[in-house]
Structure 1
Amino acid sequence: MSTAASAEQVRIPWKGDYPHNSIKHWSKDNPYDSGFSKNFKNGAPEEFGEVQKDGELNVFIYSPKDAKGPVPFVVVLHGCDGLSTLTKEWTQHVADVLNGQGIGALVLDSFTTRYVDNSCGLADLHWGRRRSDDAYSALDYLIEKKLTKADEVYVMGYSNGGTTALVSMTSQENDHRHRFAAAFAIAPGCSPSLQHSARYTGPIIVFMGDHDDANNPNWCEELAKTKRSAPVQMIEYQGANHGFPVNAPAHDFMGWHLSYSPAAEKDMMQTIISAIRTKHFAKGIEIR
């Protein structure tokens, strides 16, 4: 992968004091609704039951070289295993491609400052909701620092980060002062309990392989088929699996098959850049 992009690492304040959130802590009887929390740590098993009201998040900001003034920015979200070495390489590659087109990237680390190792497994919906406020904290930071304009920030996430990107576009998040211009959800969890009844407030593109055995492509197809006021498109890559965007040797993780598809990954990045440039979004399912 390219390593041309270089990052500024900073800590940003986490913001969670919104009407859609609650002070209820995580419990085994209420594992998902507790994702909407006013607490930085909310007692989830991945947090070893710890509760903490305030906190900060690590972010890595990649700005295009010679950028003068605000530029479009993408908030990039990792998957359930956090910013592992492999994920860091992937996010740096994403930033490099975006920077080359005059677009900034903010890579957001949801886990390190919470001392979370991973969220892989049943807590997916909880962390999709928790991390949505992480993403909005990053959006607010970019606008406050005048690195971008309020209507030119996009959210892009992989796997659990993709689920987070979908949550970020729901009407439940309407109490944020600023909103994302659109979401790019890569191999997300489109579980019916989370997504099919959701009202989305902005454009979404879902990118997925038809051989994904970590998150069900059929659920995402149903998501894209549902009539909505906001455009939701699913781009489905034939022969690709859950690992298609990450340049790594084929391997299994958590029982899932992961292998890189350079053609699908390149097409995905070109599609994202085109959508940011043209602000044009389609509806429905497209097979590629």
Structure 2
Amino acid sequence: MKSIFLLMLLFLSAATSAEEVKIPWKGDYPHNSNKHWSKDNPYDSGFSKNFKNGTPEEFDEVQKDGELNAFIYSPKDVRGPTPFVILLHGCDGLGTLSKEWAAHVANVLNPQGVGILVLDSLTTRYVDRTCGPADLHWGRRRADDAYSALDYLIEKKLAKANEVYLMGYSNGGTTTLVSMTTQESDHPHHFVAAFAVAPGCSPSLQHSAIYTGPIVVFMGDHDDANNPKWCEELTRTKRSVPVQMIGYQGANHGFPVNAPAHDFMGWHLSYNPAAEKDMMQTIISAIRTKHFAKGIEFR
């Protein structure tokens, strides 16, 4: 109980420094279409020009325009544009655990001079969760969310245009992989590199993808929500940019989130502090040095 109380105090102290903003959503790009979701078109409709595109999670509603909630954690005593990480939540939205994880990421990266924008893809769409088969569709839908946040940071002169990174967990990790494909290259700004945490590396989405920048995939070898073997196969594919997978032995899908062990939709989730610490140190080193490796490494 004491440890939980201290964790909440840490979260609340960090949360007080977060600025809540509204981000205009942009989706009118050549790679998208006006085709609505249907049972016969469950995944390609993820590339949509509509903010809401008629999915079951949206109660079949279609809406052309919209905006997204976001929370910005800026480094203290830093003036002018800074390096930034846009952080994407998993399929169950920006709930309490996701907010605590986001605050922790900010507490680690802000002292390094790196800002954090925590993006909420679900609340303004009135969506509770996108888990299960819908995960593939929403990985595509949310890519335009990430680019809308990127445009916001650059237009507001908060971030350096060539130093914005994308980081996502679970469905946010899948979104991260989709966002780095050449299919998304018609956006005016681009991410310098990306960190995909426990993503879905589904062969139907990822293996033939051509990426526009370096990617590091962090995966527990006991992940029973997203198949680690698929991420290994993705990493082994020859590419023009560095793609690395770091696998954590004995870790499962919940390894980065400091929460009591529990099951969610049949998946086993438990915190692995050694793996989480190593992941954050790896990310800090990559941002500092701009060095990205290739291949698979188990730690």
Q: Identify whether the pair has TM-score above 0.5, normalized to the shorter chain.
A: yes
CA drift at 1:199? 0.5
Matches within 5 A, 1:109-188: 109-188=120-199
Letter in 2 for 1:217: P
Letter in 2 for 1:126: H
CA drift at 1:149? 1.2
Matches within 5 A, 1:3-82: 3=11, 4-5=13-14, 6-82=17-93
**Tell me, what secondary structure is at the counterpart of 2:160?**
coil
Per the alignment, residue 101 of structure 1 pairs with: 112
Per the alignment, residue 198 of structure 1 pairs with: 209
Report percent identity of matched pairs: 84
Per the alignment, residue 4 of structure 2 pairs with: none
CA drift at 1:203? 0.3
Structure 1: any 5+ residue segments left out of the alignment? none
Q: Name the TM-score, length of structure 1 as normaliser.
A: 0.99
Letter in 1 for 2:63: Q
Per the alignment, residue 97 of structure 2 pairs with: 86
**Tell me, what secondary structure is at the counterpart of 2:72?**
strand
**Tell me, what secondary structure is at the counterpart of 2:101?**
helix
| Partner deviation per Cα, 1:46-67 (whole Å, 9 max, x = no partner) | 0000000000000000000111
**Tell me, what secondary structure is at the counterpart of 2:246?**
strand
Partners of 1:235 and 1:37 in 2: CA distance:
32
Q: Kindly indicate whether residue 254 of structure 2 is the aligned counterpart of residue 232 of structure 1.
A: no
| Partner deviation per Cα, 1:166-208 (whole Å, 9 max, x = no partner) | 0000000010000001110000000100000000110000000
Matches within 5 A, 1:188-267: 188-267=199-278
RMSD: 0.7
Letter in 2 for 1:88: K
CA drift at 1:276? 0.7
CA drift at 1:120? 0.6
Q: Name the TM-score, length of structure 2 as normaliser.
A: 0.95
Letter in 2 for 1:10: V
Partners of 2:61 and 2:111 in 1: CA distance:
41
CA drift at 1:101? 1.0
**Tell me, what secondary structure is at the counterpart of 2:35?**
coil
**Tell me, what secondary structure is at the counterpart of 2:82?**
coil
**Tell me, what secondary structure is at the counterpart of 2:219?**
strand
Letter in 2 for 1:22: S
Partners of 1:10 and 1:147 in 2: CA distance:
13
CA drift at 1:11? 0.6
Pick the structure with more helix per residue: 2
Letter in 1 for 2:292: F
Partners of 2:241 and 2:37 in 1: CA distance:
32
**Tell me, what secondary structure is at the counterpart of 1:150?**
strand
**Tell me, what secondary structure is at the counterpart of 1:149?**
strand
CA drift at 1:160? 0.1
Partners of 1:86 and 1:146 in 2: CA distance:
30
